Amino acid sequence: SIALPEIPEGAYLGTPSGDTRILDAHIADGYLYYTGSDDIEPGEVYTLLIPVGEGVNYRIFAILVQLTGNEVSGIQSVDGDNLRIFTTPGQLHIAGTSAPAIVYNLQGRPVYRGTDRTITLPGGVYIVQVGDTVRKAVVR
């Protein structure tokens, strides 16, 4: 995910578009979340444009995002027996592994990707994937 710059009050972020090798690009809580296709090349630059609008159809400016492909070094195996996922008010916690996690909302969109062990989230039901292990979590 990439943190996006603040936009003027009353403005809104439009739908990201651009390079077709960037899949499932969407915006949530000021971050651009994206997934690259299998043909992303290490070192190549991929461009997305995010329109910023105000009012009904008036575009005031756009955000240009350039992503650089990285080489994948491998997928970590996770022992599901050691994995612990628990919540506290407004937070999801992952313990028992250092493997990257993907947290999905109920619409199936990833809302977090990374290795943080404490993730701040709005209240709701989430699906957490760590390696091959998938669990459900409720954040209040």
Q: What residue ranges define each of the domains in the chain, with the CATH number in brackets?
A: 2-68 (no CATH), 84-139 (2.60.40.10)
Which element (helix H / strand E) includes 62? strand 58-68
Q: Which tokens go with 119?
A: 């993730």
The predicted structure's pLDDT at residue 93: 92
Paired tokens of 71: 């080489």
Q: How confident is the model at residue 29 (pLDDT cuts 50, 70, 90)?
A: low
Residues 6+ apart with CB under 8 A from 133: 78, 80, 83
Tens of pLDDT, residue by residue over 85-133, are 898 999 999 998 888 999 998 888 889 999 999 999 999 989 899 887 8
The reported pLDDT for the residue numbered 74 is 43
**pLDDT, tens digit, for every residue of 31-67?**
776 777 777 777 777 787 878 777 665 555 677 777 6
CB 135 within 8 A of CB 101: no
Cα separation of the two ends of the chain: 23
Euclidean distance between CA atoms 73 and 17, whole angstroms: 28
137 is written with which tokens?
A: 């979590």
Query: pTM of the full predicted structure?
Result: 0.46
